[in-house]
Structure 1
C-alpha cells in the first residue's frame, strides 16, 4: 500500500500549540478578512496564514524552514509584509485587548490608565541597510528599542519599535500618538512612565493629550528588585514577550517589520491571557 505523505501533511495536519482556536479566529477574522479593492479574501486559507505567523513568532524559525503544511513560505512572508505596513496587526491587537478586558470583567473596552516602558534589544546583522543604531548606557548596545504599553491587567494595548538611540521622551510620545490612532485614548486619564522621561517632557505630553503623565521610580538605589505598584505589570509583559524566539534579537532591517513581529508577539500573549482558566480573583480591585 502506497501512502501519499504530502497528502497527509496537507489534509490531516496535526495542530500546533500556537494555532488559533475557533473562538479566537471568530474574534480576528473580521480584521484579517476585511474587504479590500478585490473583495473579501479566502477566510479558511487566511487562518492558516495567521497560524503560520504565530508559529514563526514563537519558534523563531527562518522563513524557508516554515513547515510545508502552512503553504508556500513566500505567500506567508508577503502577507506578513502587507499586514505590517497597513496596520492590520495593530488593529488585531486592539480587538483582542478589548476582548481580554471583557473577559477580566472590565466594564469599559478601553483603559483609563496605561503603563509605558521600553526594552533594548541587541540587533542581529543581516547585511545591508538597517535602522539599528547605538543606544542604552553609554551607547554600548547597537540594536532597537521596543516600546510597549499595557493596561492595569498587564495585557498589551500597544507596541512599537524604534531605533535604539531614540530618547525615552520621543518613545513615549510616539506610543501616545499610536494609541490615539487606534482609538484607545478616549477614557485615558493617567499614563505611568519611568524616570527616563524627563519631568518637562512629561508635562508637555500631558498638556498635548489632556491627561496626566506620571514619572515613577525609586529615589534610592537598592540591589534587590522592588516592584512599583501598577508599573511592574509592563516589566512582566516584556518578560512574557521574551517567550517569542523571533524576538531573541532584533533580526529585522526596518522598523515596520520589527514592529510587526512585536505586535504578533503581543497578540500571542493576549491569546494566552484569553485562554487561561479564570478562577476567583484576588488582590486589589482597581477601577481602571
Structure 2
C-alpha cells in the first residue's frame, strides 16, 4: 500500500472506532426504513450484530491486504459477514436482504466520514475504500445467503421425506413401511435407512413394504424396491411387498419386471398374515405377539 492508501485506511478506522455507536444506530434505522429485516431479528440482536461487525471492520483495516480481499482473508470480518447472512437466511427473509443490509452499513459509514471530514479529496478516497470493502462484503453475504437457504431447503426436504415414510411396528418382529406417492432415488435411500435402523432396533424378522399409495410402478420404481428388499435381506430379515393392485400387476407384467424372488400380497392384511408365519410369531389369537 502507498502512504496515501495507509492514511485513508487509518482515517476510516479512526471514524469507525470513534463513532461506532452512532454508526450502529444509523445502520439499524436504515435497515428498518428499507424494510430489509427478517421477521425474527430483534433490535437488540441487530445492535449486537452491528457491534461485532464494527470491530471486525476496524480490525481488518488495521491489517495488511487490499480492501477488496479483506472480507475473505480477515477471519473476524469473514465470520461477521457470514453470520449476518445466515441469520437472515434462517429468518426466511428474501434473497436480497443480506446484501441490502451490507449496503445500508455502507451508507451509515459514509455519512459518518462526511460528518468529520471537510476535504473533498479525503472524502472521495474514503468513499472508494469503503465501497471496495463493503461491495466485497455484500457479494459474500449474498453468496452465503444462497448457500444457507439451499442447505435449509435440503434439510427440510429430508425431514418431510422422513415424515412421509414412517416405519410402523405391526406385530412382534414385524415392521411395515406404508409408501404414499412417487418412490424416487432420494426417497428410496431414506426408506432404506429408516427401515434398516428399525430392523436393528426391534430385531425384526420381517419387513412389509406397502405400496398401496404408490400411483404407478415403472422400471425405476421396481428397481428401487429391489434395492430395498436386498438391503433388508442383508440384515437377515424377510421382506413382503403388499398393495399389488390389478393395474400395477398388469404394468409390471407388461414391463417384464421380475419380482418372482419377492413375496408379494394384494393387501396389507394379507401381507401381515404372511409376515406372521414367516416370523413364526403367535397369530391374532396369541397374547405375546401384541
**Structure with the larger strand share:** 1
Larger relative contact order (C-alpha < 8 A, sep ≥ 6)?
A: 1
**Structure with the larger helix share:** 2
* TM-score, shorter chain, exceeding 0.5: no
TM-score by length of 1: 0.25
TM-score by length of 2: 0.25
